Amino acid sequence: CLPLAKESQKLFAFKWENPDTGRKTQLTWTVLPQGFKNSPTIFGNQLAREIEAWNPPSQNGTLLQDVDDLLMATETKEECVQWTISLLNFLGLNGYRVSPQKAQLIRSQVTYLGFEISGGQRELGAEQKEAICRTP
């Protein structure tokens, strides 16, 4: 959750009616709400700014970001372990949570943004290929 600045919270105010009592009240979000159309852009921009402060353990790697998806590539498995631990610690200390179910750690082939990436090459993932084949 990305906290909203106090001065922005009034922009996210809404009315709510208690279904049991009928009592109406005005509430406001204190964090960026899910479903707000600009939430992905705002989140991605904030994450990018914070990642700029991260110092990778070595210069032998690359980190790519698309909104909340991160792709890390290093020369060796050992460097990948070091980079992964460093980045996960950095993200955790800055209040981010990483989904263990989505994480693809220390692999020579990964799926990123719908593409299967391996050996410096990319190709459409299986789901995208199936969707294309099903299109009339």
| CATH number for the domain harbouring residue 87 | 3.30.70.270
The predicted structure's pLDDT at residue 1: 67
pTM of the model: 0.65
Q: Does residue 94 sit in the same domain as residue 59?
A: yes
The predicted structure's pLDDT at residue 31: 84
pLDDT in tens, the chain (136 residues): 678 888 888 888 889 999 999 999 988 888 877 777 787 888 889 899 999 999 999 888 999 998 888 989 898 989 999 999 999 999 999 988 888 788 888 888 888 888 888 888 889 988 888 888 998 8
Q: Does residue 50 sit in the same domain as residue 67?
A: yes
Q: Does residue 32 sit in the same domain as residue 49?
A: no
Q: Does residue 6 sit in the same domain as residue 48?
A: no
In this structure, the strands spanning 69-74 and 109-112 are: unpaired
Q: Does residue 82 sit in the same domain as residue 132?
A: no
The predicted structure's pLDDT at residue 129: 87
Nearby residues of 124 by Cβ (< 8 Å), 6 or more positions away:
114, 115, 116, 132
| HSE, side-chain direction, 13 A CA sphere, residue 70 | 18
Q: Does residue 80 sit in the same domain as residue 120?
A: no
Q: Does residue 74 sit in the same domain as residue 130?
A: no
Q: Does residue 14 sit in the same domain as residue 63?
A: no
Q: Does residue 41 sit in the same domain as residue 98?
A: yes
Q: Provide the domain count of the chain.
A: 3
Q: Does residue 96 sit in the same domain as residue 41?
A: yes
Q: What is the dihedral of CA 43, 109, 85, 54, to 10 degrees?
A: -40
Q: Does residue 118 sit in the same domain as residue 82?
A: no
Q: Does residue 48 sit in the same domain as residue 96?
A: yes
Q: Which helix (H) or strand (E) holds 27?
A: strand 24-28
Pick from 92, 126, 120, 28: nearest CA to 84: 92
Structural domain boundaries enclosing 74: 37-105
